[in-house]
């Protein structure tokens, strides 16, 4: 008997926690946090208590009550007694928080399988971010083409194209047949061939079940999305058509997007200005020989922006140890203000205050190369537009999604042709049921037996 249990990612974006069980073997496919996690009970400064975080989350059934899953030190006063691990493995698809964040609660004795690139991302984010504390784990890394054995199950990871390197789907062998899990993926990025390879292998396996992400499964597409090549083309038009500074906002872990604007900057004779966090991440990623990224310590087209801290004088002691590695690549607001046309500068939302010191010329450009808000009522969007208007910036929205469009989803499912489809990572599972008769709309904490 093969059982699938869905403890997250059902009827919501992210938070994937799918338990696969057979003959005493139990594995989790991802263990993430959804974007709306805990919204019904926690808000702003009302958050789970640091000393009893697991207890507080279990109180509202925000995490599954499963013995042999959680770390011993977190179980005090939860009503769940500690036992040796009863979970054979957690398989992470990639390093986005909605797929990996909650491994911070699991027993460190449980093996965590993940791609080489994913491990680099997790380690790096722990070093530079207060919010990323994943804890100690028995990490077991792999590359595409490897085979994993967890308990009595054999699993094949297959690389896919996503908006972060090191993303994988999985083919899980069971007595009922192969279970294919997409993780998150797209077919319009620079490595769409990897997604095509996953689809080809999944189809050849004739899976009994396809656990499929459906982020963009909508009646009508609400957002404007481009391919990565189109982002490059449109970005080139903006940068090449102005003699003013151009700012760009992107997701920090989207290395394809970094590479796009890096190439645009070089093609137009500009320096790309990045943050110390981005520089540190790139410095770690060059350790992976399979990732083609420039070294920020030596690349002449990259500068690192340092804001004033503590002393206000750019003194070395003002900065964290990991920031100091790139001080010889420093560019300051004073330098950028004097030679604005020489730069293409990455700008995070929380760095907008740097515009006050940079004083961009009116008519300068701001490219938001990330998803626009779902709602017109988004407060951050209103704040951003106020800054844009105040400094007289030309605003552009251009983004290549990390997820399949509805048309691409239909191609994936029709090509793989599974016996059953289980939609996850979507707010519209009913659209799967409407499109495919063999789609199963599950609910959180529900279990399904595969025959």
The reply to whether domains 2-219+402-450 and 228-397 share a CATH topology is: no
Region 22-32: mean pLDDT is 96
Give the global pTM: 0.94
Cα–chain center distance at 25: 28
Q: Which fold has domain 228-397?
A: Rossmann fold (3.40.50)
What is d(CA 398, CA 234) in angstroms, rounded to the nearest whole number? 8
3-state DSSP call for residue 416? helix
DSSP 73: G
Segment 82-88 mean pLDDT: 96
228 pLDDT band (50/70/90 cuts)? very high
- Tell me the average pLDDT across 130-138: 89
Rounded Cα gap, residues 22 and 172, in angstroms: 11
Collapsing DSSP to helix, strand or coil, 310 comes out as: coil
| pLDDT score at 375 | 55
Name the CATH superfamily, with its identifier, for domain 2-219+402-450: Ribonuclease Z/Hydroxyacylglutathione hydrolase-like (3.60.15.10)
Question: In terms of Cα–Cα distance, which of 98, 107, 99 is closest to 67?
Answer: 107
Minimum mean pLDDT among 24-38, 126-140, 180-194: which range? 126-140
Euclidean distance between CA atoms 408 and 221, whole angstroms: 13
Q: Report pLDDT for 224.
A: 77
Percent of the chain residues past pLDDT 90, beyond the cut:
89
- Across the chain, mean pLDDT equals 94
Report the C-alpha gap between 157 and 143 in whole angstroms. 8
Query: Can you tell me the mean pLDDT for 287-302?
Result: 90
Distance CA 55, CA 49 (A): 9
How far is CA 8 from each of CA 86, 116, 396, rounded to the nearest angstrom? Answer: 19, 25, 35
Higher pLDDT, 379 or 284: 284
Please check the confidence at residue 421 and state whether its pLDDT lies above 60.
yes
Q: How far apart are the two ends of the chain, measured CA to CA in Å? A: 7
Sign of the C-alpha dihedral, residues 319, 322, 328, 333?
A: negative
How far CA 416 is from CA of 32, 177, 300, in Å, comes to: 25, 14, 46
Decide if pLDDT at 118 tops 80. yes
Please check the confidence at residue 260 and state whether its pLDDT lies above 80. yes
Q: How confident is the model at residue 235 (pLDDT cuts 50, 70, 90)?
A: very high
DSSP assignment string, 347-405:
--GGGGGGHHHH-PPTT-EEEE-SPPPSSTT-HHHHHHHHHHHHTTPEEEE----SS--
Strand order in the sheet with 138-142: 138-142, 111-115, 89-91, 25-29, 17-22, 2-8, 446-450
Contact 143, 156 (CB under 8 A): no
Q: What is the mean pLDDT of residues 211-240?
A: 92
3-state secondary structure of 26: strand
The pLDDT value recorded for residue 377 is 59
- Torsion 430-432-433-435 (CA) sign: positive
Q: Structural domain boundaries of the chain? A: 2-219+402-450, 228-397
pLDDT per position as a tens digit, 361-414: 999 999 999 987 755 557 789 999 999 999 999 999 999 999 999 999 999 999
């Amino acid at each position: 008997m093969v059982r699938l249990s869905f403890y997250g990612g059902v009827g919501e974006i992210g938070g994937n926690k799918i338990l696969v069980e057979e003959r005493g073997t139990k594995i989790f496919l991802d263990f993430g946090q959804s974007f709306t996690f805990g919204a019904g009970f926690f808000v702003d400064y009302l958050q789970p208590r640091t000393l009893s975080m697991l207890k507080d989350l279990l109180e509202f059934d925000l995490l599954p009550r499963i013995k042999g899953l959680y770390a011993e030190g977190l179980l005090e006063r939860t009503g769940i007694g500690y036992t040796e691990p009863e979970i054979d493995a957690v398989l992470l698809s990639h390093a986005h928080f909605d797929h990996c964040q909650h491994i911070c609660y699991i027993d460190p004795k449980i093996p965590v399988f993940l791609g080489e690139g994913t491990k680099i991302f997790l380690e790096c984010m722990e070093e530079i971010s207060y919010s990323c504390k994943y804890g100690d784990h028995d990490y077991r890394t792999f590359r595409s083409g490897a085979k994993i054995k967890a308990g009595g199950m054999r699993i094949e990871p297959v690389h896919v194209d996503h908006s972060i390197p090191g993303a994988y789907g999985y083919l899980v062998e069971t007595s009922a047949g192969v279970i294919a899990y997409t993780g998150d993926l797209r077919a319009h990025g620079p490595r769409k061939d990897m997604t095509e390879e996953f689809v080809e292998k999944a189809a050849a396996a004739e899976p009994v079940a396809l656990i499929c992400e459906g982020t963009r499964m909508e009646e009508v597409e609400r957002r404007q999305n481009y391919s990565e090549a189109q982002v490059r083309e449109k970005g080139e038009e903006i940068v090449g058509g102005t003699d003013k500074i151009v700012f760009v906002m992107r997701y920090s872990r989207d290395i394809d997007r970094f590479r796009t604007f890096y190439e645009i900057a070089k093609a137009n004779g500009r320096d790309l200005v990045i943050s110390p966090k981005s520089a540190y991440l790139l410095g770690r990623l060059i350790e992976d020989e399979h990732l083609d990224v420039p070294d920020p310590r030596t690349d002449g087209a990259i500068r690192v922006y340092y804001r004033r801290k503590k002393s206000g004088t750019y003194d070395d002691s003002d900065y964290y140890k990991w920031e100091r590695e790139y001080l010889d690549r420093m560019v300051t607001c004073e330098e950028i203000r004097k030679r604005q046309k020489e730069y293409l500068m990455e700008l995070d939302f929380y760095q907008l205050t740097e515009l006050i010191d940079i004083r961009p010329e009116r008519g300068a450009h701001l490219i938001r190369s990330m998803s626009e808000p779902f709602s017109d009522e988004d407060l951050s969007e209103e704040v951003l537009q106020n800054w844009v208007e105040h400094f007289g910036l030309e605003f552009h929205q251009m983004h290549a999604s990390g997820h399949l469009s509805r048309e691409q989803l239909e191609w994936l499912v029709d090509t793989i042709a599974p016996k059953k489809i289980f939609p996850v990572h979507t707010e519209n599972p009913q659209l799967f049921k409407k499109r495919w008769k063999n789609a199963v709309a599950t609910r959180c904490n529900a279990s399904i037996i595969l025959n």
